[in-house]
Amino acid sequence: MYQIDKTTNSITALSAKGFGALGFNERAHLQEWIAKCPECLGEELLILAKEFDGFDETKERLDLLALDKQGGLVVIENKLDDSGRDVVWQALKYASYCSSLSKSQIVGIHQSYLAKNGGGDAQERIEDFLDKEDFENVILNSGNDQRIILVAANFRKEVTSTVLWLLQHGIRLQCIRATAFDNGGQLFLNMEQIIPTPEAEDFMIGVAEKEKEQQSTERSLVKREKLRLAFWEQTLAALEKAGVTLYSNVSPSKDHWLHAGSGLNGAPFTMIFSHKEARVEHSLGRGNKEENKWLFDRLHEQKDAIEADFGAPLEWRRLDDKKTSRIRYWKEFDGYDQEKWPEMIEWLTKHVKQLEKAFGGRLKPLGQKLKAEFNSTGAFQEEVEG
């Protein structure tokens, strides 16, 4: 930090001093300065408590507990001239203790603090700070997003390294360097956020949130894949027991669908297992759109006879804007409720058997007609599956 001399148009370096050398200590001075002027940390904060020791079954004391403008709790730990090795661990413990504080507990904590520091109504103070008119609509300490601010004159490498690692894993920490300057008896205090840098903070929060969302999605995907694999194992065993040979050469899958050949290339019989339903389907998905629509139309001409063989009305989806056409039958189930699986499997076993009965004998003749229809254009695919 420099002092500007307008007369000589020059600057003079101010002398940085250790707080201890100036006769200051952590609790009586640095902590008090922040409590009286929390804006020095670079944002608007409401100090809820000082030297808070209300943690169950522990005698530990949190330097300062604050509230930010979003209603989130902020743990502030002060270390005078040296951060020490254990400040991160200490602050994480306090944040974990605070994570369970309810709205009424937070009001009580602040009311106790006000009673010792000039009085006032905690609920009104919190309402005013958050710009809320109705306390019922105030949300405090939502989720597990408690923040940590570490203040010290110097941060050890083991502290900064740990903080940077935690930031990458979505834990919101800030390191603020407090520096005292002496200029001929005039004392100055500079508070500078060094981790993360203010310019990088929004970016790092965004990256952390994205990674958290991605990890959650990946965990959910793995869970769903295991669920599907278990479901198809049970379904294939039930088909074999029921004498349904359609899926004899098919292995369980992690996908939500399971195909079986129909005798016509690109036109499988399919069972679908999803969160909301079970479904059987005859899909027409050959490489040529015109062939699929031709097959759909020829089958649709036999709609009444096919549905009579199947035993129920089917949903016929020509899907003119897509290459594939589908004919399907479905029923709502909660697929993630494993107690419903026996009912779902019984339903699929019955209806995939009926699907094969309704379409199986009609596909080979249609395949021969399809070959004659499209052979001259060169668009035809071999109708018999390998």
For strand 73-79 and strand 147-152, is the pairing parallel, antiparallel, or unpaired?
Answer: parallel
Give domain 220-371's CATH architecture. Answer: 2-Layer Sandwich (3.30)
pLDDT value of position 202: 58
The tokens of 374 are what?
Answer: 């499209």
Residues of the chain whose pLDDT is less than 70?
Answer: 198-218, 220-221, 376-386
Task: Give the integer Cα–Cα distance in Å for 334 and 273.
Answer: 10
For residue range 6-58, list pLDDT tens digits in order.
999 999 888 899 999 999 999 999 999 999 999 999 999 999 999 998 887 77
Cα 50 to Cα 71, 103, 109, 117, 366, distances in angstroms: 18, 18, 10, 10, 83
Give the span between the Cα atoms of 228 and 336, in whole angstroms: 9
Domain positions in the chain:
2-210, 220-371
Classified as helix, coil or strand, 286 is coil
Entry pTM: 0.55
Check whether the bond before 252 is cis (ω within 30° of 0): no
Report which DSSP code applies to 30: I
2-210 fold: Trna Endonuclease; Chain: A, domain 1 (3.40.1350)
Q: Distances in Å between the alpha carbon of 82 and those of 29, 56, 150?
A: 15, 29, 11
3-class secondary structure per residue, 12-27 = EECEEECCCCCCCCHH
DSSP of 195-241: ES-HHHHHHHHHHHHHHHHHHHHHHHHHHHHHHHHHHHHHHHHHHHH
Q: Which residue's structure tokens are 């709502």?
A: 332
